[in-house]
Chains A and B, each alone.
Chain A
Amino acid sequence: MNMFRELLKSPQNHLVEQAVSDGRIPIGYSCSFVPEAFLMADRLVPVRLHAPGVAGTEIADIYLSNFICTYVRSLLEFAVDDRFDLIQGWVFVPSCTHMQRLYDNLEYLKKPAFNHILDVPRKVTEATIAWQAEELRTLADKLSTHFGVDMSDDSLMKAITEWNNFAEVIQSIGELRKKPFPPITGTEFQALLMAALVSPKDLILPKILDFRKEIEQRDGVGEFRSRLMVMGSHLHDPEFIRVIESQGGLVVADLFCTGSIPGFKPVEISGNPIRSLAEHSFKKTLCPRMMEDFDRRLETIIDTVKEYRVDGVVIEIIKFCDLWGVDSMPMVSALRNEGIPVLKLEREYSMGGEGQLRTRVQAFIESMDK
């Protein structure tokens, strides 16, 4: 497990370095609407952007308004500090205005050779899926021209197959969390998941398979007072989950941008790979930016609560996150109406205030009479 944590210490870990040495091309992205499989074609390597151990955002604060979230601030700070120097291309989604400002400022300050905005509609209809496919085709052509990579249908099909194999392994580990005595803690799962998102899939897969073998031998991970689900904004640092679990709440399910539910669904191939990926990005993402999608999100949470025997849901929101912040208001009421206890936490992107977090979580678990 330390191995996965080690891979999270730097925004570009040694597996990314290895990929670069092998002539591969890391592409940074920050949103789940970018299908990972798409960025696995040919020599491309998708690297989820994160800013581990960010200590301050003094430079980013000059360029971004006070109401931009600390995730975006942290990424810009790392970018201007050249902490992403191995990233050869950037793909953003205008999922929120904060992320658009990141794209703009990156363009202004760093002038990356490859910086792309993938426009994603806010509704899912036949027309918007076609639009999304068109957007992906434009990106494919741009990547192909700029990097000389093969973005043909055959190449994309190969990438999708590789992604599907990978996603199935992650899912199989996630499924173990449904057990009455799960053999994996939420902290371990979070470290594994994040390490998987920031590393080349082919290089990290053998390590994940070894870890799966190890945990399949386990009887459980000890006594916990309750089973929790965590959902909300970008959550990258496993420390956050560790603090929650230190209070006796085993995190058995997650639903956030980098979470496994429903993020690691295999791509259903329906002939055309671009079209399949367009459909897939809507299916695998449960983001409050989407319109008329509240009921699907609520339903997924309720189903997860039942399947994973969740006692209570922790909603975590990065301060100033428009999407999750607004969504959480009706979501808290809707879940409570279903008899599901909810704790809402506001946090910054980087881990801080451990004492306060402990108090809140402990009180929440106590209030569930656990």
Chain B
Amino acid sequence: MTKKYFGGCDVGSTTGKAAILDENSSIVGTSIVPSEIDPEITSVQALEKACAQVTDLSSYKDLARIVGTGYGRNEVAFANENISEISCHAMGAFYCNRDIKTIVDIGGQDVKTIAIADDGSVLEFAMNDKCAAGTGRFLEAMSRIFRMDLEQFSVLSLNARKIIPITAQCSVFAESEVISLLARKNPPEEIAAGIKAAVSKRCFSLLKRIGMRPLVTVTGGCAKNQGLIKSLAKRINMEVTALPVDPQIIGALGAAVFAGRNGREQE
């Protein structure tokens, strides 16, 4: 194998993501796998799945350089270095669209907002990690109440005629509030719209802490939730820019960009 490939692996709480770049910084492989208990196993599975899309690569061990990110980044012993998911999401979004200045990353267990500098580095960030409200876990729990998968739940609120606000701040109390609202025969789509409005409100407060500049994008698994994106755009009174790649792999993509850049610097 003469070509060099660079890997990024984002070990999240719900899923592991990997991205492979070639020497020209083009994306040649990506993957998303469910997280295992051991972050190292998750990272191997994600990288192997992404490497399988590249004919030159027979294993992740063939990668010239690997950068780990995400909550499990410290446990990926074979990675050449680890970089925080904040820097990686910034770099991943910058790779996709250089005009993006603000990111909302809604992950499985936390929400982050990131302000990006003109060179793709992090200017400022804010995190909500003290409770599950507003995270992917929250939306998962809510979709279960509606007996829907995440995809169905994602579009449920799109046809809502009005929003039924959810007043509980805590995920657990919000769950019982939603159950009560459903039991009282309120339209599910209007309750779902209320749930998404509550999440977007939380994102908005985090965005205000870092100073929101267009273009704004959303990364992480929850970026695929159409109802949430619609609600957030309304809340921030700004368009949410869609990314040309799966928004869930942006952290891994940023890690791969760093792997390529740092790998070349060390040659």
What is the interface of chain A, defined by CB distance below 8 A to chain B? 353, 355-356, 358-360, 362-363, 366-367, 369
Interface SS of chain B: helix, strand, loop or mixed?
A: mixed
Contacts of B121 in A (CB 8 A): 366-367, 369
Q: List 19 A-B contacts (CB under 8 A).
A: A353-B130, A356-B127, A356-B129, A359-B71, A359-B84, A359-B86, A360-B125, A360-B127, A362-B83, A363-B84, A363-B86, A363-B122, A363-B125, A366-B87, A366-B121, A366-B122, A367-B121, A367-B124, A369-B121
Task: Give the contacting residue for B85; candidates A353, A359, A369; CB below 8 A.
Answer: A359
Confirm or deny: B110 has a beta carbon within 8 angstroms of a beta carbon on chain A: yes
Interface SS of chain A: helix, strand, loop or mixed?
A: helix
Beyond the given pairs A359-B85, A366-B86, A367-B87, 6 more chain A to chain B contacts, judged by CB atoms under 8 angstroms and listed by A's residue number, are A355-B71, A356-B129, A362-B84, A363-B87, A366-B121, A367-B121
Complex CA distance for A353 and B110, rounded to whole angstroms: 12
Task: Write the chain B residue with the least CB distance to A346.
Answer: B130
Q: Is the CB of B125 within 8 A of A356?
A: no
Tell me how far the C-beta of A337 lies from the nearest C-beta in chain B, rounded to whole angstroms: 14
10 nearest CB pairs, A to B:
A363-B86, A363-B84, A362-B84, A367-B122, A366-B87, A356-B129, A359-B84, A355-B71, A363-B87, A363-B125
Confirm or deny: B245 has a beta carbon within 8 angstroms of a beta carbon on chain A: no
Confirm or deny: B148 has a beta carbon within 8 angstroms of a beta carbon on chain A: no
Contacts of A359 in B (CB 8 A): 71, 84-86, 127
The verdict on A366 contacting B127 (CB below 8 Å), with A355-B71, A358-B74, A359-B71 known, is no
Contacts of A353 in B (CB 8 A): 129-130
Confirm or deny: B123 has a beta carbon within 8 angstroms of a beta carbon on chain A: yes
Tell me how far the C-beta of B10 lies from the nearest C-beta in chain A, rounded to whole angstroms: 13
Tell me how far the C-beta of A315 lies from the nearest C-beta in chain B, rounded to whole angstroms: 14
The verdict on A356 contacting B110 (CB below 8 Å), with A363-B125, A366-B122, A367-B121 known, is yes
Contacts of B74 in A (CB 8 A): 358
Contacts of A362 in B (CB 8 A): 83-84, 86
Contacts of B130 in A (CB 8 A): 353
B:67-84 near A, CB below 8 Å: 71, 74, 83-84
Complex CA distance for A369 and B123, rounded to whole angstroms: 11
Contacts of B122 in A (CB 8 A): 363, 366-367
Contacts of A356 in B (CB 8 A): 110, 127, 129
Tell me how far the C-beta of A227 lies from the nearest C-beta in chain B, rounded to whole angstroms: 19
Tell me how far the C-beta of A135 lies from the nearest C-beta in chain B, rounded to whole angstroms: 39
Contacts of A360 in B (CB 8 A): 125, 127
Contacts of A355 in B (CB 8 A): 71
Complex CA distance for A325 and B20, rounded to whole angstroms: 43
Task: Write the chain B residue with the least CB distance to A353.
Answer: B129
